[in-house]
Amino acid sequence: MLELKNVSFEVTDVNGEKKKILDDINLRFDEDKFVVITGPNGSGKSTLARILMGIETPTSGKIYLDGEDITGKTITERAKLGISFALQQPVRFKGIKVRDLIEIAAGRKMETNEACEYLSRVGLCARDYIDREVNASLSGGELKRIEIASILARGTKIALFDEPEAGIDLWSFQSLIKVFEGMREDLKSSIIIISHQERILNIADEIILIKGGKVHKRGQKKDMILDILGATLEGGVCGKYMEGSDETC
Amino acid sequence: MLNKDQLELLNEIAGITCNPGGAINIRANGQLAERNVTENINIRTKEDKPGIDIIVKAGTKGETVYIPVVIDESGMTDVVYNDFFIGEDADVTIVAGCGIHNCGEHDSQHDGIHRFFLEKNAHIRYVENHYGSGDGNGKRILNPVTEVYQEEGSSCEMEMVQIKGVDSTVRTTKDKNKKDAKLVVRERLMTHGSQIAESNYVTVLEGENSSADVVSRSVARDRSYQKYVSRIVGNAACYGHTECDAILMDSARVLAVPELDAACIDASLVHEAAIGKIAGDQLIKLMTLGLTPEEAEEKIIEGFLG
C-alpha cells in the first residue's frame, strides 16, 4: 500500500515568487487496484507521479510504502522496493538495445524467448524489435510499448504510468489502450495511471481528480463524470476526454 | 615465446591467447615473435624497412589474418610499415591492433603505417584495437596511419577501437574509392585522465556510385581531449556521410570538425555532430529500473560504445 500524507510541493518562479504545485495531498493507493489520476493541465498530476518515484522531493509531507517512510529514499531505492515508473516521454538510448532494457528492468539476463514474451504482450512483433536500439529510429508509439514492456518485465507491486497517451498518434493509441485493458483484466499489481483518456478512465477501479494541486474528488467514474466534465470546461474545451482522441492539450 | 604481460595484451587487442592457426604475424617489442602463412595468404618481411607485406590471393574467402603488435619494453619506439594486397573477389578479416604495457619511466610508442590495396570486388573487414596498461610514468603513445586504395566494387569495413590506457594518439586515415567502392568506418573511443586522442579522416570518393560512411562514437572523461576531423571529398556521383557523436564528462573537451567538399553536382554529402553530457532523463530512466546513478552511467557508456 502506498500512502501520501500532507504532501506539498512548491517551486520558485522566475520572479522569485513561490508557487504551490501540490497542496496538502492525502492519498492512499490500496493493493491490486487500477487507479487513474486525472485533471486539467498544470494541476500537478505529473509532479505527483514524479514525487512518488522520488524524482522530485516534496517540500513537506510524508510518503509511506507498506507502512515504511520512503520520503527520503532515492529513485533507485524506491525502484528496488517495488515501484516502477513509465515516463511521459520515453527516453532514447544510442547503443542500448530493446533486449538490454528488458534485461535491466528484470534485473537478470534472460533467454530471447522470455524477453520476446514481454514485447508480444504489448503488441510488438518481438523478433523484429528485440535487437533494435532504443534510439530515434523507433516511433513514439513503439517507444511507449517498449516502456510498458520494461514495466511488465520488472513485475513490481506498484506501476506508475505518466500519460501513456502523450505524444503518440491515434492508431498507436488504439492498440495501446488494448494493452492497458489486458493489464486491467490480469491485474497482478497496483497500477496508477496519469491519464486524460476516457477509455482508460473507463477501466479504472477508482478515479482521482486533481485540480489546483489538490485532490478535488475521488471515486468511481459514474460518480465523477460531472466533475471531470467541469474540469474539462475550466481547463478549456479540448478533445482530450473524447473517446479515441490522442489529444493531450 | 611471449611473456605473461604480452599474452595479456594479445588477448585484449586480438581476443587470442595462443596461436589460433591460419595466417598470423605477431610482433613483440619490434621483433617478429610468431608467423604462419596459409595457401591463400602469404606474409613476407619487407627488405627496405621494418614491416611486412600481406598478400591475399584472388578469390580467398572467409579467412582471418592476425597481425597484432605488443610492446612491454619501456622507452621502446617501434615504427612499422605493413602493406596489404587483397586480390580480386577476396573476402577476408584482418585483426590488427597494438597493446602497450609500460611500467617504466620512459615513453613507449608504436607507429603503424598500414596501406591497403583492394582489387576489384575485394572485401575486407579490418578490426583494430588499441590498448594500454601498466602503472609507470612513461607514456603509451600510438600514432596509426592507414591508407586505403579501393578498386571498382570493393568494400572495406573498419572497426577502430581504443577504450583504455593510451595516453596520446593521432590517428590518420586516408581512403580513395573508385566506382561502386564502399568504405564503412566505425570508430569507438574512450579517453580518460589527461589523454589526448586525435582522429583525422580524409575520404575521396572519385568513382561513380562510390560511398563512405565514417562514424565516430566517443566518450571523453576527466581532463582528456579529443579532436575528430573528417573530410569527405565528392568528385563524382557518390554518397558520403560522416558523424561524430561524443559524450562529454567531467572537465573533458571534444572538438569535432566535419568537412564536406562536393565537386560534382551529383555528390551527396552529409555530416552530423553531437557532443553533450549524458542526458538526465537517461539516468533517471535506468534508476527507475533499479540501477544506481553510477551503474546507470556505466550502462549508458557501455551501450554507446557498443
Q: List Cα–Cα distances, A31 to A79, A192, A214, B244, in angstroms.
A: 17, 11, 23, 49
- Chain A environment of B245 (Cβ under 8 Å): 94
* First vs last C-alpha separation in chain B: 33
* First vs last C-alpha separation in chain A: 32
List the single residue in A with minimal CA-CA distance to B297. A93
With CA atoms as reference, report the closest residue to A52 among A20, A86, A17.
A86
* B290 pLDDT above the threshold of 90: yes
A134 grid coordinates: 532504443
With CA atoms as reference, report the closest residue to A226 among A246, A204, A207.
A207
**What local confidence, expressed as pLDDT, does residue A238 receive?**
41
- Where does the pLDDT of residue A200 fall: very low under 50, low under 70, confident under 90, or very high at 90 and above? confident
pLDDT per residue over A42-97, tens digit each? 889 999 999 999 999 999 999 999 999 999 999 999 999 999 999 988 899 999 99
Higher pLDDT, A34 or B1: A34
Distance CA B9, CA B98 (A): 8
**What local confidence, expressed as pLDDT, does residue A233 receive?**
63
Comparing A46-60, A187-201, B55-69, B285-299, which segment has the lowest mean pLDDT? A187-201
Beta B51-56 vs B31-36: how paired, if at all?
unpaired
Question: Domain boundaries in chain A?
Answer: 2-89+156-241
Distance CA A236, CA B206 (A): 61
Topology classification of domain A2-89+156-241: Rossmann fold (3.40.50)
Number of domains in chain B: 1
H or E, element range at A126: helix A126-129
Over range B111-128, report the average pLDDT: 95
Residue B62: CB atoms within 10 A of its CB come to: 9
For residue B31, give every residue at least 6 positions away whose Cβ sits within 8 Å of its Cβ, in sequence order, or none. none
Query: Do residue B217 and residue A94 have CB atoms under 8 angstroms apart?
Result: yes
CA distance A225 to chain B (A): 33
* A236 pLDDT above the threshold of 50: no
Distance CA B219, CA B230 (A): 17
Over range B75-93, report the average pLDDT: 94
Query: What residue numbers bound the domain in which B266 lies?
Result: 4-305
A32 grid coordinates: 491490486
Query: Do residue A91 and residue B285 have CB atoms under 8 angstroms apart?
Result: yes
Q: Which of A56, A94, A160 to mutate to test the interface with B (most CBs of B within 10 A)?
A: A94
- With b meaning 16 or more CB within 10 Å and e meaning fewer, what string describes A217-247? bbeebeebeebbeebbeebeeeebbeeebbe
Place of cell 505518466: A162
CA diameter of chain B: 62
Query: Do residue A85 and residue B286 have CB atoms under 8 angstroms apart?
Result: no
Average pLDDT taken over every residue of chain B = 93
Over range B193-210, report the average pLDDT: 96
Q: If 0-12 CB within 10 Å is exposed, 13-18 middle and 19+ buried, where does residue B218 land?
A: buried
- Chain A environment of B289 (Cβ under 8 Å): 79, 84, 101, 104-105, 150, 154
**What local confidence, expressed as pLDDT, does residue A240 receive?**
45
Residue B136: CB atoms within 10 A of its CB come to: 16
Comparing B3-7, B18-22, B275-279, which segment has the lowest mean pLDDT? B18-22
* B270 pLDDT above the threshold of 60: yes
Residue A210 in 3-state DSSP?
A: strand
CA distance A23 to chain B (A): 25
For residue B162, give every residue at least 6 positions away whose Cβ sits within 8 Å of its Cβ, in sequence order, or none. B129, B130, B131, B142, B169, B188, B189, B190, B197
DSSP assignment, residue A97?
Answer: B
- Where does the pLDDT of residue B223 fall: very low under 50, low under 70, confident under 90, or very high at 90 and above? very high
Give the range with max mean pLDDT: A148-152, A167-171, A233-237: A148-152
* B213 pLDDT above the threshold of 80: yes
Over range B255-261, report the average pLDDT: 96
Residue A188 in 3-state DSSP?
A: coil
B48 grid coordinates: 627496405
Over range A128-146, report the average pLDDT: 88
Query: Do residue B284 and residue A105 have CB atoms under 8 angstroms apart?
Result: no
* A242 pLDDT above the threshold of 80: no
What ipTM did this prediction achieve? Answer: 0.89
**What local confidence, expressed as pLDDT, does residue A235 receive?**
54
CA distance A46 to chain B (A): 15
- Where does the pLDDT of residue B267 fall: very low under 50, low under 70, confident under 90, or very high at 90 and above? very high
Q: Which of A93, A102, A158 to mutate to test the interface with B (most CBs of B within 10 A)?
A: A93
**What local confidence, expressed as pLDDT, does residue B181 receive?**
98
* A249 pLDDT above the threshold of 60: no
Q: How much of chain A exceeds pLDDT 90, in percent?
A: 45
**What local confidence, expressed as pLDDT, does residue A245 receive?**
43
B-contacting residues in A 26-55 (Cβ below 8 Å): 53, 55
**What local confidence, expressed as pLDDT, does residue A187 receive?**
66
**In B, what residues contact A, Cβ < 8 A?**
217, 245, 279, 281-282, 284-293, 299-300, 302-306
With CA atoms as reference, report the closest residue to B130 among B99, B157, B86.
B99
List the single residue in A with minimal CA-CA distance to B280. A91
B297 grid coordinates: 552511467
* A241 pLDDT above the threshold of 80: no
* B268 pLDDT above the threshold of 90: yes
**What local confidence, expressed as pLDDT, does residue A239 receive?**
43
For residue A46, give every residue at least 6 positions away whose Cβ sits within 8 Å of its Cβ, in sequence order, or none. A88, A162, A163, A194
* B7 pLDDT above the threshold of 90: no
* A247 pLDDT above the threshold of 50: no
With CA atoms as reference, report the closest residue to A2 among A27, A22, A25, A24.
A27
Q: What angle do CA B166, B170, B175 make, to 5 degrees?
A: 130
- Where does the pLDDT of residue A133 fall: very low under 50, low under 70, confident under 90, or very high at 90 and above? very high
- Chain B environment of A95 (Cβ under 8 Å): 217, 302-306
Higher pLDDT, A221 or A16: A16
Average pLDDT taken over every residue of chain A = 86
- With b meaning 16 or more CB within 10 Å and e meaning fewer, what string describes B185-213? bbbbbbbbeebbbbbbbbbbbbbebbbbb
Comparing A135-144, B49-58, B200-209, which segment has the lowest mean pLDDT? A135-144
Higher pLDDT, A239 or B224: B224
